[in-house]
A and B are shown apart, each in its own frame.
Chain A
């Protein structure tokens, strides 16, 4: 059987007939072909699939697309400006070499934006603690922490 899901993604309405068991991340990747949101695990721990739903970071691999019915979603494709200018968090990751293979990066950036929204002036310790839902195998986190700290400053000003 199928159900109809309608929601807003990166400011644009989207709707489709999908199988009930479609995970939100598969709807985003396979139906909408927004492949920036990644899947790195099947136990909801790596955070590669992190997006924003109604302004809050969620793991899109651990919910049904139907749970996002009517919601406003923002994915990694939706945070830079229309002219391509990077969001301050993206820019900070670039400046501080907060990414290597790039696979964890979309989820990391989406989680980091949410982190700074919740903790506008985070200490290094708090950033590390609040990154416990995101795994990165490449960077050793050092530069990710630096990037988030720096972005928290630009995002405040």
Chain B
């Protein structure tokens, strides 16, 4: 790890001020991605601003319409939250499948979304559920948030404060894990809001994306067979040692079908 300056942010405003001053400063949430990258000397911030002590950034608020999750809420808290389990069980189970128990005890939803790893899980939930990412400056709709591989709509100095998920009628997430890293090779989140269906795919492309053909078919009939024969074109999908694009394309269909099955249970 390269050396850097360190400070604990007292508030979001305080953190924003430092960010504005120092273009090479970085926010530190759970550190599960940032510290990992810094250890391998792949990231080299001049300054690390620890959000860990800002109390108001963590916590879960839920009612019958929406679940709001503070940016610093750990994956483990989302996974075990009774409120989340009740309102959006698919979200709780997605969180329970991120990394491992130790990673879940540190990693946060805000960090995961800001990082927008192409194989991360949360982006699928945010996009499929049509969630809103709330920052210190504005509210960003899910469809506007994810811009590409490790890229988001966040601007310099912008800090995620919470994420608000509308409660769907039914939803499910199916993840096909990379056997080595256990990140998603393909993760498909299917959400039926009652007024429409959204299907979001993570892991398969440079960034999370929706599958219009599946959404349309499911809106017509929410059943596994509706998606079972919809093939996603392999063009533009990721290819690596573990899965070539054609295999990923195939897995999207399988995972989508299984997600619909699970959502109907």
**Chain A–chain B contact at Cβ < 8 A:** yes
Does B39 count as interface, using CB distance less than 8 angstroms? yes
How far is it, in angstroms, between the C-alpha of A90 and the C-alpha of B52 when the chains are bound? 32
Q: How many Å lie between the Cα of A115 and that of B28 in the bound state? A: 27
Binds A, one of B3-11, B122-130, B186-194, B227-235: B3-11
| Residues of A close to B181: CB separation below 8 A | 45
Do B4 and A20 touch across chains, with their CB atoms under 8 A apart? Answer: yes
- Known A1-B5, A67-B28; contact A111-B102, beta-carbon cutoff 8 A: yes
- For A37-64 the 0/1 string (1 means CB < 8 A from B) is 0000011110100100100111101111
Interface string of B99-117 (1 = CB under 8 A from A): 1111101100000000000
How many inter-chain contacts with C-beta < 8 Å in the A-B complex? 82
Q: By the criterion CB–CB under 8 Å, are A19 and B52 in contact?
A: no
With A20-B5, A21-B3, A58-B105 as contacts: A63 and B40 at CB distance below 8 Å = no
Query: Which of B29-37, B55-63, B82-90, B161-169 is near enough to bind chain A?
Result: B29-37
A43: chain B residues within 8 A (beta carbon): 36, 40
B31, A63: Cβ atoms under 8 Å? yes
Given A42-B40, A57-B105, A20 and B3 contact (CB-CB distance below 8 Å): yes
| Chain A contact surface mostly | mixed
Asked if B32 contacts A44 (CB within 8 A), the reply is yes
Interface residue B244 (Cβ < 8 Å from any Cβ of A): no
**Are B36 and A44 in contact, CB atoms less than 8 angstroms apart?**
yes
Is A9 on the interface with B (CB-CB < 8 A)? Answer: no
**Interface size class for chain B?**
20 to 34
Contact of B39 among A23, A66, A114, A133 (CB under 8 A): A23
Interface pair B31/A56, CB less than 8 Å apart: no
Does any Cβ of B come within 8 Å of A132's Cβ?
Answer: yes
Residues in B8-58 with C-beta less than 8 Å from chain A? 8, 28, 30-32, 35-36, 38-40, 48, 50, 52
Are B101 and A62 in contact, CB atoms less than 8 angstroms apart?
no
Instruction: Tell whether A67 pairs with B101 under 8 Å between CB atoms, given A1-B3, A21-B3.
Output: no
- A77 at interface (Cβ–Cβ under 8 A)? no
B6, B76, B182: the one within 8 Å of A66 (CB): B6
Q: Contact: B35 with A20, CB < 8 Å?
A: no
CA distance A111 to B5 in the complex (A): 31
Q: How far is the CA of A69 from the CA of B7 in the complex (A)?
A: 12
Looking at chain B's contact residues, the main secondary structure is mixed
> Which A residues lie within 8 Å of B8 (CB)?
66, 69
Chain A: interface residue total (CB-CB under 8 A): 32
User: How far does the Cβ of B100 sit from chain A's closest Cβ, in whole Å?
Assistant: 3
The answer to whether A59 and B102 have CB atoms under 8 Å apart is: yes
> Does B2 lie at the interface of the complex (its beta carbon under 8 Å from any beta carbon of A)?
yes
Write out the residue numbers on chain A whose beta carbons fall within 8 Å of the beta carbon of B1: 21, 23
**Distance in Å: Cβ of B65 to nearest Cβ of chain A:** 30
A19 touches B3 (CB 8 A): yes
The answer to whether A118 has its CB under 8 Å from any CB of chain B is yes
Report Cα–Cα, A20/B2, bound state, in Å. Answer: 10
Q: Are B106 and A133 in contact (CB under 8 A)?
A: no
B92 to chain A, nearest CB (A): 14
Bound together, the chains give a CA A20 to CA B46 distance in angstroms of 11
Name the A residues within 8 Å of B103 (CB-CB). 44, 59, 62, 133
**Cβ contact of B101, chosen from A1, A19, A66, A115, cutoff 8 A:** A115
Assess whether B100 is in contact with A133, with CB atoms less than 8 Å apart: yes
Which residues of B pack against A, CB within 8 Å?
A: 1-6, 8, 28, 30-32, 35-36, 38-40, 48, 50, 52, 76, 80, 99-103, 105-106, 181-182
The 9 closest A-B pairs by CB, nearest first: A133-B100, A20-B6, A21-B1, A56-B105, A59-B102, A132-B100, A133-B102, A63-B31, A57-B102
* Contacts A21-B1, A66-B6 known; 7 new A-B pairs at CB < 8 A: A21-B38, A44-B32, A59-B106, A118-B101, A132-B100, A133-B101, A133-B103
